[in-house]
Copies of this chain bind each other. A is one copy, B any other.
Amino acid sequence: MISEFDVLALGNAIVDVIARAEEDFLVAQKVAKGSMTLIDEARAEAIYAAMGPATIISGGSAANTAAGIASFGGKAAFIGKVKADPVGDIFAHDIIRTGVAFGTSAAIEGPATARSFILVTPDGERTMNTYLGACLNLTEADIDPATVAKAKVTYLEGYLWDPPHAKDAFRKAARIAHEARREVALTFSDSFCVDRYRGEFREMLRERMVDIVFANEHELKSLYETGDFDSALMALRGEAKRAVVTRSEKGAVVIEDRLTIEIPAAPIERLVDATGAGDAFAAGFLFGYTQGLGYRKAAQLGALAAAHVIQKIGARPDRALKDLAAEAGLL
């Protein structure tokens, strides 16, 4: 079957509002550093009023990955819910102009387009406060079976477990993908997200609803409720068909059955804003994987993309990743 897309990404459609903040601001706002906290509209307004001058850039975890794949020259599509409002227009403009196919109908009524208020501390770590808004309206009806069937990989974000109906959309997409002999990838998104849905996430791995899982070190440890990386990795090897584990400056590990491939992190000059590091890694890996470049090269492309986005404000690449990869001799 001919593939129209390398990757179809399904996730929350979010615009990021990013400001620098000192550590004591996080303490005053009572937010857990490095995590993603869900907030309501009143809290969103309060945080925005208190935070510093902001940069507004489209985000959303799976959407960032789709944008990254397109930036590598891959064919990507995205499904996610915005409202027909100014912020929704920004999200749609940016993802479409990045070259990602995006046709999910915007909600006419209900809550506003989602925004994540991101606080970047001097160490470059990001702490996210997300108002899900219109994402709450994503349902099974937004999954077009033909699109799923035409994508080599359908990529799903764990954050979809937060809105009430999105996990139905998630499961529908996964089922259609497998019926069409396509693959399904999942990112665990966040260690607190893993904590909320540990049982379901592990069940998905065991049931082989997921062919490739992406996790960072914190999420992996949270999944198996251990502080020991090696034992967590061993547990993952026993449950997941195939996994990509990112470890920030310690690089990444790809595991499949008894195979283990370790890849160093790509060098950076200065960590500016860690927002989107995992999303960019997944973009590079999935681009390489769907091009048949092998795990090692795929992970190197992931490391390159992650290194690029963390040296600037915002989660999306601001240069063509295709060019960066060519300059690095990877493509």
Contact = CB atoms under 8 A, between A and B. Distances in A.
Interface of A: 19-20, 48-49, 51-58, 67, 86-87, 90, 93-95, 97-98, 312-314, 316, 318-319
A54 B313 contact: no
Contact of A57 (B56, B90, B95, B319): B56
Contacts of A318: 20, 55, 313
Contacts of A56: 55-57, 90
Given A48-B93, A93-B48, A53 B86 contact: no
A19 B49 CA distance: 26
Interface of chain A, main secondary structure: mixed
A87 B85 CA distance: 12
29 contacts: A20-B318, A20-B319, A48-B93, A49-B93, A51-B97, A52-B97, A52-B98, A53-B58, A53-B67, A53-B94, A53-B95, A53-B97, A53-B98, A53-B316, A54-B93, A55-B55, A55-B56, A55-B57, A55-B313, A55-B314, A55-B318, A56-B56, A56-B90, A86-B86, A86-B87, A312-B312, A312-B313, A313-B313, A313-B318
Contacts of A94: 53-54
A247 to B, nearest CB: 28
A180 to B, nearest CB: 30
Closest 5 CB pairs of A and B: A56-B56, A53-B94, A52-B97, A53-B98, A53-B97
Given A49-B93, A53-B58, A54-B90, 6 more contacts: A51-B97, A53-B94, A53-B95, A55-B314, A56-B56, A56-B57
A95 B53 CA distance: 7
Nearest to A20: B318
A20 B94 CA distance: 12
A9 to B, nearest CB: 16
Nearest to A316: B53
- Residue among A53, A55, A93 with the most chain B CB within 10 A? A53
A241 to B, nearest CB: 34
Contacts of A97: 19, 51-53
Contacts of A53: 58, 67, 93-95, 97-98, 316
